Amino acid sequence: MTMSQTLAPHLPYLRRYARALTGSQASGDAHVRAALTALLAGDHTLMEGVPPRVGLYRLFHAIWQSGAEHYDEQTHPVSSGKSPENRLNALSASKRAALLLTAVEAFSLEEAAFILDETPEEVEAAILSAQKTIDTQLASKVLIIEDEPIIALDLENLVSELGHKVVAIAATRDEAVAKAHSERPGLVLADINLGEGGSGIDAVSEILASFDIPVIFITAYPEKLLTGERPEPTYLIAKPFLPETVQATVGQALFFHPVAKQAA
């Protein structure tokens, strides 16, 4: 099996992770391309004796690290103040990485520690710190676009338990657009396929034409959406989802959209 064949199944998920970590489709994909280019050029290699997926993510972090430090120090300068915004700015990229690797990408503490070149104890402490900071500072109003009532209810209960307020649940494209204009949410959770109610992607596109708010898409087939052949979402949750996955992804989405926090 060639290297390309070995790594291909893992690339859609690495792209999802990179986008959530950086808060940008362009930045996340650029870092993934840089990691693959370094690998193909022989500048970096996957470590022997470790699963290919673990080695791939470790390589990505070796490439990304300097850029993450630049983001934290330049785009979000650390301040000594005690306001919620300053406390969020002080949340390091490495803490967010630890949270995403375990909650979204389902790596064990030991695997995440290997990827980040830290100890399991350091990773666990980083996860607790990141989640506490995000959950307490980023409460927002949420619009759920989902045509399956049971899934919609699960999402409503979950985000409510995280301290957010669900202002509307929409089952169709038209209803979603109308609710977005009337309720002015700070975050959207959207299913991609609404059955006879239309497309969740189309609904979101129309909403984003009027509002600058973060959107998290939910789908049973994320690899079909992350193809590189069309505009793609920054935040993506796979069905069936785990509560900690939703929690971590919501936190990352709101972290990179301070305007959404003010909508609460």
Does the structure show a pLDDT above 50 at 136? yes
CATH architecture of structural domain 139-261: 3-Layer(aba) Sandwich (3.40)
pLDDT of residue 204: 92
Distance from C-alpha of 173 to C-alpha of 219, rounded to nearest angstrom: 16
Distance from C-alpha of 36 to C-alpha of 13, rounded to nearest angstrom: 14
Each domain of the chain, given as residue ranges in start order, spans 3-136, 139-261
Alpha-carbon torsion (210, 216, 217, 222), positive or negative: positive
Give per-residue pLDDT as tens, 15-51: 989 988 888 888 888 999 999 998 888 878 888 889 9
Does the structure show a pLDDT above 80 at 87? no
- Regarding the domain with residue range 3-136, which homologous superfamily does it belong to in the CATH classification? PhyR, sigma-like (SL) domain (1.20.140.160)
pLDDT of residue 79: 38
pLDDT of residue 226: 67
Give whichever of 38-42, 108-112, 134-138 has the largest mean pLDDT: 108-112
User: How confident is the prediction for the chain on average, in pLDDT?
Assistant: 82
Distance of CA 5 to the CA centre of its chain: 26
3's tokens: 């290297």
The residue that leads in pLDDT, 139 or 53, is 53
Q: Which of 102-111, 139-148, 163-172, 227-236 comes out lowest in average pLDDT?
A: 227-236
Q: What is the mean pLDDT of the segment spanning 87-96?
A: 64
pLDDT of residue 258: 55
- pLDDT band per the 50, 70, 90 thresholds, residue 229: low
**Nearest residue to 54 via CA among 121, 126, 108, 119:** 108
Read off the pTM: 0.66
Q: Which of 45-59, 101-115, 162-176, 209-223 comes out lowest in average pLDDT?
A: 209-223
pLDDT of residue 75: 41
